Structure 1
Amino acid sequence: MVFDRNPSTHSNEEGPQFNRDGKIELRSPSAMPALPGFCPNLPHPPSAKSQSLSFVNGYMMVQSPLLERQLHSGSNHTSPEGRPMTSPNGMKDVLDPTDCSGRYSFFRKKVDRENHNIALPFCPESKLPSFLEHDRRVLLFNAYYEEDVHESAIEEKRIHTCDVYFYVEDGTMEIIECKQENSGIVQGRFLRRSRVSKPGRSCYYEIDDLKIGSQVLIYSRTFHIASCNESTREFVMKYHGWNEEDVATLPLPRDRFAESKDAKMRQESGAPGSDRKRKMNDLKQVMESMLGKETSMTDRGMFLENGTDALCFHVLWDDRERLYGDIQYFRLFYYLADDTVEIMRVDAKNDRQGTFLKLLKRSKLPKNGRVADSVCYTWKDLAIGQTVNVFGRSMLLARCDEFTRQYYLSNGITLEEDMTLKMPEKKFEVKRDIPPYNGFGTEEDSLRSCTGSLNPPPPKKDLQKMRDKSGVILQFNAQLVSDKTDDVTRRFVLSFFMEDDTMAIREPPVKNSGVMGGSFLRRQAMKQENGTYFTAKDMYVGNILNIVGHQFLLLNADEYSYRLMECDDQTFPFSDFARLHKTLSSKQNEIKEHFVKDHECTGALDQDELAKCCKSLGLELNTQELITIWRKLDKKGKGKVAFTKLLKLASEDQWGGEDSTRFEY
């Protein structure tokens, strides 16, 4: 397609315009052909909306317009101080660190100053968040509410004083009722920290709702704001515009019942709230004295001198003048460390006075019934034959122990002889008959069911023994002691578990024997004929065990069991070679004569000949003791040893050396 480049031929027709170079000039975007990759410059520059909201150092901030446009567009934006943003004075740092309207992060400020030579502040709309501006700021208001008392002849209304805490950072409130001594009502926190909505409205209580003299309805309780502290008064007057009338302190209403109660306490026991001679914690007293508080005189010197020494007197109280009264016996302990007295009761047979043990807890004993240090009993006032007034009870001091008598004698006072008293008999102890075993569980379980509890506790176990001897098992080869020929040839493996003294018996299967092997006795604790349980001391070679009507003869044991028994001579006395060595040492000459007569030629002996030798010498040794001696002679297991080795073993002065190793469980 060819275009005519003569403009005169197309002067009255619409179409493309040509410039001087003969190129097509597009005057509007609609005249641009829609060809891929053909994007000429548009007549208007892009005008995307700049972002003005962002997070700086974790805070939500309102940013100024784009930096380039603000610096080069010539706009008349002003800083918070009223200076133009493009002026050098408007780019200065703000000196107040809490003012976020003209300050941003130090890192970004450093980058902008070094790389771009600018320091643009934030817009005036930005400010410090409330939770940072009012961090840990709490306002305290004193308030009260009235409670109607029904069906009472002594009071009509009860006044409850409270402390209202208002947390400015999030607008939450907390109400704590002030505690009163001996009030008899539940006190403490009335409202946990939370936002409280106004009744019937969707808004919350704010600071302006807590003016002095205002009433606040919170959970059907009308709180009357009476006063506030000094810091709260300064804050609301400075930042919320309160005047003097809004913060004027109002008096609390009179509580006539509390006034009458305080007056009664003054008449009976002194001013209310006074120190009742309560003993302060020693550590607290030391810490307060280090901070400058004066300390009163203490009895620390008496404690260091006397320690826990106490004088003991036997006293009696004759109360037969009263209806159903009787003579009662007590022990009076006088503690020399702090001059306190404690009176304990002596139990009597068939006592009708109850089961109490203390008549008087450890405290100072006043002479006239009132607590005062100047009129309390001391050790000088106590003597045999004297009476002591114990809060209206006349008690006679009749006897004392030897320490008390020696203490008075060391201080130059001789006490009189003890008075003869008929001490009460001991209580008769009723022995409870244990019912027989019912067959359910173990005997310990059945015995626990006789305690009278609906939920009896399980029987106690020796946890220390179970922990120390866990996995320690003694294994023996056993044979049935019976008149039947078939039973004599049967062999069993008896396993004894030392952690809980239980045993299990298993019969190895033998082909073509006619007896099915397997488990003969499951693991359990077995009793002897005398009613006691089998223990580890009953496990030794040669012993006959009567188990479930069968008698088992222990023939031998494995190497592990032998070593364990030889290293624990307290539990296994028949494996104590030190004791057997002393026995052999006393028979050295007899052993030499015996082998000279019987073994002149061979000069060797086996285990059976060793047993005959010991029997001929008059040594009553069982099979386990013979095995213990033979294991020391035949260490290599050859079956025979020279008789000179036995003489050498018996002639040694002291046993020890390489074989005296300790076996570990």
Structure 2
Amino acid sequence: MHELPLLPGYSCHDSTVQDYKLKQKFNFLNGFRVLRDSNIGIGRRPIDTASSAYAGDLDSVQYDPSLTYGRVREYAYQQFVPHYAKFAQKCLCFKAFFRQGIFNSPDEHFRIRHVNIIYFLEDDTILVSEPPVDNAGFKQGKLVRRERIVKNIHGDYYHWKDLNVGIDIAIYGVVYHTVDCDLFTREFLCSQGIDVGDKEELPPDPYIQFRAAKSKASSCVTPVADDPRRRFLEYDGMVLSFDAIWNDDFYQVMYFLTDDTVAVREIHRPNDGKDPVAMLLKRTKLPKNWKDVPSSFPGIYMERGDLEVVEYYTPQDFKIGDTIFIFGRRFFLYDCDAFTRKYYSGMLGLVQPPRICPPVKEERSSPKYQPPPHIPFGTPEDTLASCLSFMPKPPKKDVVRQLYNFPKKLRYSMIMEAVHPEDEDRDFILEYNLSDGTILISEIEKRNSGRRAGCFLNSMLVPKPGTDKTNPVYYTPEDFYIGAKINIFNHRFIINGADLFVYRYIEANPEKFPQELRDQIRNYFVAKGLLKDDIAMRARQIRDTEDTKPDLDPNLAEPHKDSLDPGECLADFEKDAQKRYEGEHGELRPPTPPPEELCPGLATVNEPVPLRSYEPQDEPKLQSSHRRKEIKWADQIDKDSKGHPVISCRPEYPECKTIIPRECATPHYFKQRDRRFEVAQLMYENATEPSKPKFPPEVPMYEREPGRNVISMAGSAYKAS
């Protein structure tokens, strides 16, 4: 049949073939996938391709596998082994326990009983037995005989697949908890693909432990008595003192090392309203938990003693920052004395933390008086006076202030910030009365203006806009300066001038005004030419002082006094101030420039500045000269159009033509030039110094002198304050 071609009509069925199964080639060996080569085909017959007839062209003709390994044999069926024979003498063993309740017994309430659960694989039966325990007091041995156990109400039986470590098994109403198994059981379950739980510890039986401890032979050892006299000799007078706080009250906790007793003393504060009790707790042993006593102690008719207390406080329990309980009261320790710190570090090897600031009890302050809202009758002081008494009294006046400042007034000129075209040319005078802080505004008369001149605002206290109406903030002299915009009852004014007395008052009281305001007022009056006499007087004083000084350089000739003209430097000073005032009118201007800008003849390391008159176009150059750090004369000298020697010129100054070397200049010129610079600098310093008014000498408060009354002493006290 094998020689017949595979064509329709030529093929026939072989009735001898009964097994049409294919041989398995894929298999697992030791956990690895392997391919098993087989020469057996369908019907367990050898495959034709395995013979030499199907050998390739390159295969050896002489090689025949059958000659080497023999003919393929028929597959041998495994012998059938019954279940009871295969698993004979094989069982799964588990260790378990169950809890048994005990009733009507004062010594125990439950027992823990250990058992072994054995599962027989040959017939799926279970046996529960208890190993023997000495002096157990109950029956032991087999608890459940060998039989198949029903696991639920449906009649299903326990199988080995239902068993594992760490599960509960209910057998006839008793719940067993498995904790471990033997090695065979663990390997068998793992081979069947079951994850076995971890081993657990068997809980001990308290009654068995009690019987085992009772059965031991008692060994009584007499303890060494601690003689209290030894502690008295060693620790007499040594007390550990801690500062504590409880309920916002301060206490001192004292621990006596002689007998390990504790005393608590309260630290009383003045006027604390408490009875002057010295000790809060007398010397006694302090238990950690004074309520922790045995349940069998007859506390109804007996008091607790040292035998009933479990544990007392020791020095190791006291630490700064911890809280101790003294008979139910919580004491917070926040500090200790030096001896206590030394004892802990030297004897116990413990370091006490630093002192902790205790929380300070906030003092209850009485509620602040809230003034009533202002009614539209009178001033806020009148409203407050009507609330303080049934018959209102006039507000009290500062008499000392009135006596000291009467009749001083600060006068300023103002213009109205025009909202309407007809208000553009209105001029006003503001008078600030220093004695009571009131403001009076008067309008200056102008011809053909159509408005009546005179009082614009009566003398009154003017509050600042946006302040509280109940407690308003009034205008003060610090709010008035050149260019300031003030709002008086919704009328806006701009200050454009001031009286000379304003400058005198500001310079006499520099601590009341900021530096910018003082510099601005000074620049304003210098530009107006009102301080010319002051500057000239100071210049003459400086010149007279300089004439009396000896010349320190003998190599230089004596300068001619007639050649020093302070007016020249003063003219430059006034001209520069005038330029600054015209360029920055109405705003706060910087302080007056240094003397090297006012009096020419100086140069710096960075760049020289020629000696010439001040011009407005030179302002950027002067502003850039502020960065110089050191004053230094130039090495060369030139002459201006008038023939005066000046510092070496720069390309941007075409009027500088003649340049004379420094060594050709006469010593007399350099002497005069140095003198000119020194005079100009001193003139500037004295001009900017505040003029000190000549008041009578101050007299200490409440000191009587001949011809001096109480009012004059009050004025001196007000000035000193």
TM-score (norm 1): 0.31
**Larger RCO: 1 or 2 (CA < 8 Å, sep 6+):** 2
Return the index of the structure with the highest Cα Rg.
Answer: 2
